[in-house]
Amino acid sequence: MPDETTAQVTVAATAGPLDATTADGVRALAARTAAADGVAPLSEQPLLWLTDPEASAVHVRATDASGQLVGYAQADVGAATSASAELVVDPVHRRTGIGSRLLERLRSETAVVPGRTLRVWAHGDLPSARAFAGHAGMVVVRELWRMSLDLAVPREARPLPAGVTARPFVPGQDEEAWRRVNSRAFAHHPEQGRMTASDLRAREAEPWFDPDGFLLAERDGALLGSVWTKVHAADEDGGGHAVPVGEIYVVGVDPDAQGLGLGGALTALGLDHLAARGLRTAILYTGAENTVAIRTYTRLGFTKESADVMFGSGTQGSPAGVTMST
């Protein structure tokens, strides 16, 4: 598709991975925006997909006359029915129509597949994003809560069910079994249930990856569920924390093993690991509609800290009953 050019800003879309310099430009834009807004505009998946040749992503870039990146959007076009996107405009270039042009381009890229809808995440549920989405005729279709917990407060013991043991994930050995259980546990989840082998490898290659904080629960050698933790350096978690925080990154329990208390026990094991690493705060993300998970987390001591919202033109999109975090 040809570029749309005005005197000031050019908007261009590309399907392939970005080169290293362009990707660095997007990361710098995200960092500038996070410093100004107090919340990171792009989440982990779009950042990992900047340079991933296997990503099902479309990148839309807005550059000014000097070639400086002033806005960026990325859409996940891997699903046939709906594309989810994240969108950011440099704080010093807002209210000049750049966000609207990025959105317009996202819409035309998404519409390449007839009937596919576009949904846009707004992290932190900022008033500017609400106003922008309203102006564009979009409504809230999904809400993701960020919950947090003080690791220094004593917690109730949550033993593993009888006959179940936990051990660290072994890279190079456990990937396929973990992906199988993860996709069963998150069969109805729009993103987590679709984690590919490449997505998993990319996370294993990240500096934060620590198999000791990724625990698998087994009975008679069969994988029943897991808890995966992630430690964020100070100010890297998008929540403005001045000290490192630990995330309960993914908790998944196979549908056949649900109802045994395994989700709560695994989460507690993850919290014990984070506390043993000297961390003071734990966080996690969960769908606001996932009442089973929220009840489990609340009983462990988590409280709601903030919310991310997804805008779209349809009705509430995420089913209840999803297993746990993310």
Ligand X SMILES: CC(C)(COP(=O)(O)OP(=O)(O)OC[C@H]1O[C@@H](n2cnc3c(N)ncnc32)[C@H](O)[C@@H]1OP(=O)(O)O)[C@@H](O)C(=O)NCCC(=O)NCCS
H helix or E strand, kind and range, residue 121: strand 117-122
Decide: is 133 part of the binding site for ligand X (CB under 6 A).
Answer: yes
Sequence-distant contacts of 202-205: CB under 8 A, at least 24 apart? 202/48, 202/52, 203/48, 204/171
Decide: is 122 part of the binding site for ligand X (CB under 6 A).
Answer: yes
Among 311, 322, 323, 326, binds ligand X (CB under 6 A): 311
Decide: is 72 part of the binding site for ligand X (CB under 6 A).
Answer: no
- The CA radius of gyration of the chain, in Å to the nearest whole number, is 20
Give the N- to C-terminal CA distance of the chain in Å, as an integer.
35
Among 9, 40, 41, 250, binds ligand X (CB under 6 A): 41
Beta carbons of 84 and 75 less than 8 angstroms apart: yes
The total of other beta-carbon atoms located within 10 Å of residue 217's CB is: 26
Decide: is 257 part of the binding site for ligand X (CB under 6 A).
Answer: no
Q: Closest distance between ligand X and the C-beta of residue 24, in Å?
A: 19
**Whose Cβ is closer to ligand X: residue 210's or residue 305's?**
305
Number of residues interacting with ligand X: please give it, by CB under 6 A. Answer: 23
- Residue 85 CB contacts under 8 Å (≥ 6 apart), including other chains: 73, 74, 75, 76, 106, 110, 118, 119, 120, 121
Subset of residues 79 to 98 that bind ligand X, contact rule: CB under 6 A: 87-89, 94-98
Decide: is 29 part of the binding site for ligand X (CB under 6 A).
Answer: no
Stretch in the footprint of ligand X (CB under 6 A) among 132-140, 151-159, 239-247, 256-264: 132-140
Subset of residues 98 to 117 that bind ligand X, contact rule: CB under 6 A: 98-100
Q: Closest distance between ligand X and the C-beta of residue 57, in Å?
A: 17
Residue type (1 letter), 141: V
**Whose Cβ is closer to ligand X: residue 138's or residue 282's?**
138
Q: Which residue of this chain has its Cβ atom nearest to ligand X in the complex?
A: 99
**Whose Cβ is closer to ligand X: residue 70's or residue 253's?**
70
Q: How far apart are CA 299 and CA 24, in angstroms?
A: 41
Among 5, 14, 135, 139, binds ligand X (CB under 6 A): 135
**Whose Cβ is closer to ligand X: residue 18's or residue 89's?**
89
**Whose Cβ is closer to ligand X: residue 97's or residue 193's?**
97
Q: How far apart are CA 260 and CA 277, in angstroms?
A: 28
- Residue 78 CB contacts under 8 Å (≥ 6 apart), including other chains: 56, 194
The total of other beta-carbon atoms located within 10 Å of residue 79's CB is: 15
**Whose Cβ is closer to ligand X: residue 26's or residue 251's?**
26
Question: Comparing C-alpha atoms, which of 303, 321, 305 is closest to residue 124?
Answer: 305
Binding site for ligand X (CB under 6 A): 33, 37, 41, 87-89, 94-100, 120, 122, 126, 128-129, 131-133, 135, 311
